[in-house]
Structure 1
Amino acid sequence: MTLGSVLANQTPPGHSVGPYNYVPTEWICILFIVLYGISTILHLGQAFKFRLWWMLPTATLAGILEILGWSARLWSSKSPKLITPYEMQLVGTVVAPTPLVAANFIILGKIIGQVGPQFSRLTPKIYTIIFCSFDVICLIVQALGGATAARAVSQETSAAMGANIMLGGIVAQLFAIVVYVTLASEFFLRVKYDAPVRHVEQPHVFEKGQRAVSKSLRIMIYATAFCTLCIFIRSIYRTVELAGGWFGPVITTQRYFDWLDGGMVTLAIYTQNFFHPGIWLNKAGPTSESQVLSEEADEEEAAT
């Protein structure tokens, strides 16, 4: 007996028949499949165009997993009592955003390398290694939890254990994002107030030891921050969802999932398409102080 069959057979009175306790809406599933499909194709093309191979196991992989998860939900919209698609979407949608988080970790490391490693507590390389390694661990834990829940023997034992494992993976990811945001915030504050952590020899440094932050680089920073916020909101939702149990009011309400999971991840993955590091980080190479001052003057003139 699997988790899905347990949920289907033990559905509380007043709930729809099936493991979801509702029937996934067909057109919504199709919409997200199309959106993730377009984004994944774009990411694949952009990775090859800019030779950013690390975008393949991160953003591109995230898109593929989301397509699989939402395809399974589309299957469920046709056959809501079937167990296999429920188990597929459970694992797919829980795990999918994790590679996207890894992309943000790598992007911040590259931003640090361009703006000034002396303002960061960790070097760009160490930053990427630590956070991406932790992200891989979270990915494995979430996948293990999803597989455990999908193969559960009973709701009271294995199913609960699988949910707890998934919950642990998502909470660990939330913790990593909080640490990531904290370190990033400190880095940008140190850049703003020219307060380096250590001395680093590097070219293109101004009199105070601070490298120029071009307009393109600022756009990349804002885009990465927005992408991280979307994933953070999604992770909070999944934490509340799983903490409430298999029959809780959150997990049994479709619109919460559509907006706070599907919607947030869609915004995050498209942000990385439109503000792709291959485009904006390339534009944000070493910049002279006069160029930055000229950009700031143009912005002030446009504002007035």
Structure 2
Amino acid sequence: MPTDASNFSVTMVIRSILYTTQQASESPYNYVPTEWVCIFFLTAYSISTAIHMGQALRYKLWWMIPTVTFAGILEIFGWSCRLWSSQSPELLRPFEMQLFGTILAPTPLVAAYFIIFGRITIHFGPQFSRLTPNMYIIVFFSLDTICLTIQAVGSVFAAEAVNEYKSPTLGGNIMLGGISAQLFAIWVYLGLAAEFFLRRKYNAPFRRQVIKFGKGQRSMSKDVQCMIYALGFCTICIIIRSVYRTVELADGWSGTVISTESYFNWLDGGFVVVAMYTLNVIHPGIYLKSVDTSLPDEDKVNLSYVF
């Protein structure tokens, strides 16, 4: 015969399950964000962002502040709001705020990849690149800014719709367009990067240089090669994240993908935090340091080409 104590325990467990289920059904996430997961990512992003800020100041790479560091700040903002939601899952405001932060965060991070690759092409054979080094920054940074704007507008539309208990489909479609455009830009960038390294390997320049860079083709040090591998790895991380967010938004606001917390934790939070820490460890201030000091003075100022 079960005791009164055991009956009470079973009853409390059932009530707890029912309460949690009710919370999830009332939450705009379609689940209750797990508190310890939110704390973990909030801590991880805070540490990485603080290190990136210190590294940017230490190596005087000011462009790392509005790119990688700003990406970290947006992630901190987004995961802080998810932590808020873990305590009050029924509230719409933290859901809207985390949507804004986590959607936009990788965009400035990707801009840093474009800048790093542009620096590599400057010093190791700009004649092998379809675009001039400065064009990588101008073209892809402009595309990144446009994608950022589109995603921001979409997140605002979606947040307002949710707040007014209307369908957020329009905002979701706008965000989907922004993420898809960003994903397309990344694939184009990868294609151009692959072409650069192949042309350099087989000595098939895309354009003729007016002024040659020293004697023969400048060789890449192990540090630079390590930076290139890290850059490729980070890009793959962001591609996986972007594919996930594209599928998530295409599946709809009540779909299986957006309603599964583990997908978001692993495929968004996980891959972006890995990309952030990879650049902490293999930082351009360290691994591209020899690049800035290896060029003769005349090569630093004479980067002109004939098409």
Q: TM-score range by the shorter chain?
A: 0.7 to 0.9
- CA distance in structure 2 between the partners assigned to 1:277 and 1:23 by the alignment: 39
Counterpart of 1:216, as a letter, is D
Contact 1:69 1:89 in 2 (8 A): yes
Contact 1:204 1:286 in 2 (8 A): no
Q: Which residue in 2 is equivalent to 1:299?
A: none
Q: Which residue in 2 is equivalent to 1:261?
A: 268
- CA distance in structure 2 between the partners assigned to 1:275 and 1:47 by the alignment: 13
- CA distance in structure 2 between the partners assigned to 1:18 and 1:57 by the alignment: 33
**CA offset at residue 199 of structure 1?**
1.4
Q: Does 1:185 align with 2:194?
A: yes
- CA distance in structure 2 between the partners assigned to 1:125 and 1:162 by the alignment: 34
Q: Which residue in 1 is equivalent to 2:239?
A: 232
Closer/same/farther in 2, CA of residues 205 and 117 from structure 1, 3 Å limit = farther
Closer/same/farther in 2, CA of residues 15 and 67 from structure 1, 3 Å limit = closer
Counterpart of 2:213, as a letter, is P
Contact 1:119 1:196 in 2 (8 A): yes
**CA offset at residue 14 of structure 1?**
11
Q: Which residue in 1 is equivalent to 2:285?
A: 278
Q: Which residue in 2 is equivalent to 1:37?
A: 46
Match of 2:119 among 106, 110, 122: 110
RMSD, matched Cα: 1.7
Match of 2:129 among 120, 133, 138: 120
Give 1:135-284 correspondences, 5 Å limit: 135-152=144-161, 153-156=164-167, 159-200=168-209, 201-206=211-216, 210-284=217-291
Q: Which of the pair has more CA radius of gyration?
A: 2
Q: Which residue in 2 is equivalent to 1:26?
A: 35
- CA distance in structure 2 between the partners assigned to 1:50 and 1:287 by the alignment: 17
- CA distance in structure 2 between the partners assigned to 1:282 and 1:236 by the alignment: 33
**CA offset at residue 286 of structure 1?**
6.8
Match of 1:55 among 45, 55, 64: 64
Q: Does 1:101 align with 2:110?
A: yes
- CA distance in structure 1 between the partners assigned to 2:76 and 2:44 by the alignment: 9
Give ranges in structure 1 of 5+ residues lacking alignment: 1-12, 289-304
**CA offset at residue 17 of structure 1?**
2.5
The sequence identity of aligned pairs, in percent, is 60
CA deviation profile, 1:145-193 (whole Å, cap 9, x unmatched): 000100014544xx11100000000000000000000000000001111
**CA offset at residue 213 of structure 1?**
1.2
Contact 1:231 1:268 in 2 (8 A): yes
Counterpart of 1:88, as a letter, is M
CA deviation profile, 1:238-264 (whole Å, cap 9, x unmatched): 000000000000000000000000000
- CA distance in structure 1 between the partners assigned to 2:23 and 2:96 by the alignment: 23
Give ranges in structure 2 of 5+ residues lacking alignment: 1-21, 296-307
Normalized against structure 2, the TM-score is what?
0.86
Normalized against structure 1, the TM-score is what?
0.86
Corresponding pairs, count = 272
Q: Does 1:129 align with 2:138?
A: yes
Give secondary structure in 2 for the equivalent of 1:151: helix
